[in-house]
Amino acid sequence: MTAAMTTFGRVTGFTRIAFEAFLESRDEPDWIVEARRAAYEKYQDHLAVPLDPEEWKRVETRTFRADQFHVRREPTEEATFGSLMQDRAEFAGMVTHVDGHATRETLDEKYAKQGVLFGDLSTLLVEHREKLEPYFLKRAVQAKRDRFASWHAAFWTGGTVLFVPRGVSIDEPLDSLIGLSTAGAADFSHTLVILEDGASATLLEETSSATADAAGLHVGAVELILGKEARLRYVQLQNWNDKTWHFAHQAGRVESNGMLQWTVGGLGAKLAHIHQDVHLDGRGAEAEVNGVTFATNRQVLSYYTQQWHNAPNTRSDLLYKDVLRDKARVVWRGMIKVAKDAQKTDGYQRNDALLLSDTCRVDAIPGLEIEADDVRCTHGATAGQVDREQVFYCMARGLPEFEAMHMIVQGFLQIVSDRIPVELVRETLNQTVEKKLGIG
């Protein structure tokens, strides 16, 4: 036991001792504690069996050591983050989490009056149990699903909740920032977005590390639950430092005629693996999934995306664009699943990769599983290097080589960038791309 304790009396790792100490530090109602205990047992069960090879065989987790990380008990006071978005627009509300603890929560008064909830999960889940409990880790992400889901369900620390009641629409975007500041700190934040029938909102979320060399761990979950005719635009920019491990289950559920527009930016992390599910549950539900990744050095970014068409007349459109350099690696495994009665489905998935070096590698594996007999489903994947002739052409017009490269990369990402409706996010993405290219 002494080995598990540091001199500060803080338990590291995720052993049973650490779990008990974690429960003790949290002072939560019994129903939450019970759910955590059940999840912890599931986590132990999952640890005993290997990860699903179909999902994990291309993801290098051999150098990952969970016992190097711990959940911090007390919030970290002062930490500044290079936020890409926070200071650049008017927001209807803002939430900031540092090392798993909420440090700031604001929400425009006029929306609070209409019953909108926006803030930290650990307090709101207790205060508004009747509203949130039926959804939390039940509808979109199942706590028992796999090792990382149950690990998250046992140790979730907080996260951003957005609840928009029936018919309310929030015109300005909301902002959520998740930060890691301490080496060895683990973030188990949970994003829970619930839009009741006819509601609409835009949530921009960003993850960030305070320093470039503090190794962190994120075992997260994102749940986006949309009622009938609800409209959600959700953006998550993963921008950890390149020492951070990022594992996440992210799932959206869309009811009849609902519209989910989901944009994922993968820029940081040492290794990121995201299991992303989109369920179209009601007739006419729509989802558009955009992904932009830029991997450099030895980064590994892995996406396991599934588009579930569970009802007729549903439409999904997934487009991922990957840029890779150095020895980076991107893995994308996509699947469109069409249920038997999901006739007139229109499903699309596409992954394009631009390889800027000879030593990077992309694995793109699209897939279809169709049980209905009257659908339109298409998929595709491309991978290629920068055409030297294009670079030569630009240089012949007087552009230096790096600027030519920049233009080509920007052009490659333009298609997905055009699909992002929020100007701020487009700008932010461009800026990060420049930074990654070393010219920003």
Partner 1 sequence: MFERVASVSEVPPNGRKSIIVDDVPALLVRIGNDFFAVEDVCSHDGQPLTDGPVADGAITCPRHGAKFDLKTGKALCMPATQPIPTFAVQVRDGEVFVGPAGAELPPGPTTSASVTSTATATNSLPVVSVLDAVGEKVPLPEPGDDDEIRLIDALKQVIDPELMVNIVDLGLVYTINRDGHKIYVEMTLTSPACPAGPQIVQQSKMALERLRDVEEAEIKLVMSPPWTPDRMTDEAKDMLGIF
Instruction: Report in angstroms how near the CB of residue 323 gets to partner 1 at its nearest.
Output: 19
The tokens for 172 are 């300005």
The distance of closest approach from Cβ of residue 36 to partner 1 in the complex, given in angstroms and rounded to an integer, is: 32
How do 329-338 and 231-239 pair as beta strands?
unpaired
Shortest distance (Å) from residue 89 CB to partner 1: 38
Residue 58: CB minimum distance to partner 1, A: 6
Rounded least distance, CB 358 to partner 1, Å: 9
Strand-pair partners of 231: 200, 259
Nearest residue (CB) to partner 1, 268 versus 312 = 268
Which one, 64 or 135, has the nearer CB to partner 1? Answer: 64
Indicate the SS3 state at residue 44. Answer: helix
Compare residues 331 and 408 and give the one whose CB is closer to partner 1: 331
* Cβ atoms 269, 216 nearer than 8 A: no
DSSP, residue by residue, 56-116: HTTS--TT--GGG-B--SS--S------SSGGGS--SEEEEEETTEEEEEEE-HHHHHTT-
Q: Which is nearer to partner 1, 225 or 360 (CB)?
A: 360
Nearer of residues 249 and 329 to partner 1, judged by Cβ: 329
Q: Which residues bind partner 1 (CB under 8 A)?
A: 57-58, 60, 62-63, 298, 329, 361, 363
Give the distance from CA 325 to its chain's centroid: 22
Q: Which amino acid does the sequence have at 323?
A: V
* SS3 label, residue 342: coil
Residue keyed to tokens 């902002």:
175
Q: Is there a contact between 309 and 339 (Cβ–Cβ < 8 Å)?
A: yes
Cα angle for residues 413, 417, 423 (degrees, 5° grid):
145
Whose Cβ is closer to partner 1: residue 96's or residue 209's? Answer: 209
Minimum Å gap between C-beta 294 and partner 1 is: 20
DSSP 182: S
